[in-house]
């Protein structure tokens, strides 16, 4: 069985930064440190940080006063920040800088007196965070049908922003529907929203031309991993989202000559290796990596952790 790995795949700079923030906070301040929501959507990552002393909570009321509290990469609403301040929590913000960029852009549009459309999935923490940072009501749309239902006069100035991990193809259709329905629409170039989403989606499209089956390593609640699986299915090959090798079903790959593997932005490479090991239990595997973009983007750490000194932390 040939196994071709997508390039790029797996961790993005925002996820690397968020995990490093928790690890440095644990070493700098000592456990426990509290993390609001899963720092990134991957159980293996969360479990390994738990083992080091991180405590994950969904609500700040679960955090003791003054405790070190980290906001996840998905971002938080202003009200959450204000509650943390009221309770005197020592906050470190691991919001991905590209998510913060969307927040800033959305607020600029609102200051320009435009009605704001947020293209994203209801209930996703990033969407909740973005909505909660805009001081006026936001129209959330998930589909072109949602655009048709918007009850806003045609000549109203409109702006849109999108969840960072959506499929570029999906958003293209929604943006086209907005431009058809309204006469004055502005928004960012969706290809520039998140380099990692764009690169992983482009790579998986190429990979699907080479593979008979696609395995996407990622968590079921990971938005970008779900989008990668959808792109595989839209390309016409059976495509499965798989958390790790234990979930591999032999019938998925029984007739495949070439299996393509990619991984969502929150899935560590060890899980890709784990899936390859599971394939190797079924057949002899010949592994290669497709040609693709090499990413070298890094995001700066928050100032409170940037000057962290490992030797000092070890003795602290």
Q: x/- site string to ligand SF4, residues 28 to 67, per CB under 6 A?
A: ----------------------------------------
CB of 130 to ligand SF4, least distance (A): 11
Tell me whether residue 247 is one of the annotated catalytic residues: no
Is residue 12 at the binding interface for ligand SF4, with CB under 6 A as the rule?
yes
Distances (CA, A) of 87 to 104, 125, 278: 26, 22, 47
Q: For ligand SF4, which residue of 94, 174, 196, 253 counts as binding (CB under 6 A)?
A: 196
Question: Measured between alpha carbons, how far is 285 from 259 in angstroms, rounded to an integer?
Answer: 10
Is the CB of residue 18 less than 8 Å from the CB of residue 76?
Answer: no
CB of 313 to ligand SF4, least distance (A): 25
Per CB under 6 A, which region of 138-146, 191-199, 205-213, 252-260 contacts ligand SF4?
191-199
Is residue 197 at the binding interface for ligand SF4, with CB under 6 A as the rule?
yes
Residues of span 251-270 touching ligand SF4 by CB under 6 A: 265
Is residue 94 at the binding interface for ligand SF4, with CB under 6 A as the rule?
no
Active-site hit among 23, 81, 126, 247: 126
Per the document, the length of the chain is 316
Tokens linked to 10:
């797996």
Is residue 14 at the binding interface for ligand SF4, with CB under 6 A as the rule?
yes
Q: x/- site string to ligand SF4, residues 126 to 165, per CB under 6 A?
A: --------------------------------------xx
Q: Which residue, among 113, 110, 130, 133, has the nearest Cα to 122 in the 3D structure?
A: 130
Strands across the sheet containing 115-119: 139-141, 115-119, 158-162, 185-186
CB of 142 to ligand SF4, least distance (A): 18
> Which residue, chain included where needed, has tokens 């070439």?
258
Is residue 226 at the binding interface for ligand SF4, with CB under 6 A as the rule?
no
Q: For ligand SF4, which residue of 1, 13, 45, 141 counts as binding (CB under 6 A)?
A: 13
Is residue 166 at the binding interface for ligand SF4, with CB under 6 A as the rule?
no
Q: For ligand SF4, which residue of 115, 224, 225, 239 counts as binding (CB under 6 A)?
A: 224
Smaller CB separation from ligand SF4, 115 or 167: 167
CB of 39 to ligand SF4, least distance (A): 10
Is residue 95 at the binding interface for ligand SF4, with CB under 6 A as the rule?
no
Q: For ligand SF4, which residue of 3, 6, 15, 76 counts as binding (CB under 6 A)?
A: 15
> Which residue, chain included where needed, has tokens 């239990």?
281
Q: Are strands 54-57 and 33-36 parallel, antiparallel or unpaired?
A: parallel
Active-site positions read 126
Interacting residue ranges for ligand SF4, rule: CB under 6 A: 12-15, 73, 96, 98-99, 164-165, 194, 196-197, 224, 265
């Amino acid at each position: 069985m040939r196994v071709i790995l997508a390039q790029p795949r797996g961790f993005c700079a925002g996820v690397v930064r968020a995990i490093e923030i928790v690890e440095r906070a644990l070493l700098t301040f000592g456990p426990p440190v509290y993390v609001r929501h899963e720092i990134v959507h991957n159980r293996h990552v969360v479990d390994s940080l738990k083992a080091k002393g991180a405590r994950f909570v969904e609500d700040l009321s679960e955090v003791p006063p003054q405790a070190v509290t980290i906001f996840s990469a998905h971002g938080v609403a202003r009200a959450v920040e204000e509650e943390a301040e009221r309770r005197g929590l020592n906050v470190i913000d691991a919001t991905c800088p590209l998510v913060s960029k969307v927040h800033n852009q959305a607020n600029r549009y609102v200051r320009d007196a435009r009605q704001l459309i947020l293209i994203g999935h209801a209930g996703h923490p990033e969407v909740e965070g973005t909505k909660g940072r805009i001081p006026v009501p936001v129209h959330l749309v998930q589909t072109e049908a949602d655009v048709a239902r918007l009850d806003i006069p045609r000549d109203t100035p409109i702006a849109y922003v999108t969840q960072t991990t959506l499929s570029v193809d999906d958003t293209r259709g929604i943006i086209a529907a907005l431009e058809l329905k309204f006469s004055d629409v502005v928004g960012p170039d969706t290809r520039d929203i998140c380099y990692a989403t764009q690169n992983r989606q482009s790579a998986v499209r190429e990979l699907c031309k080479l593979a008979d089956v696609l395995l996407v390593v990622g968590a079921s609640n990971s938005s970008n991993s779900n989008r990668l699986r959808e792109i595989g299915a839209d390309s016409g090959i059976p495509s499965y989202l798989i958390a790790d090798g234990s979930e591999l079903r032999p019938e998925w790959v029984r007739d495949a000559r070439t299996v393509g593997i990619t991984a969502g932005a929150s899935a560590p490479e060890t899980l890709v290796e784990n899936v390859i090991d599971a394939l190797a239990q079924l057949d002899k595997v010949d592994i290669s990596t497709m040609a693709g973009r090499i990413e070298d983007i890094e995001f700066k750490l928050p100032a409170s952790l940037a000057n962290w000194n490992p030797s000092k932390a070890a003795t602290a």
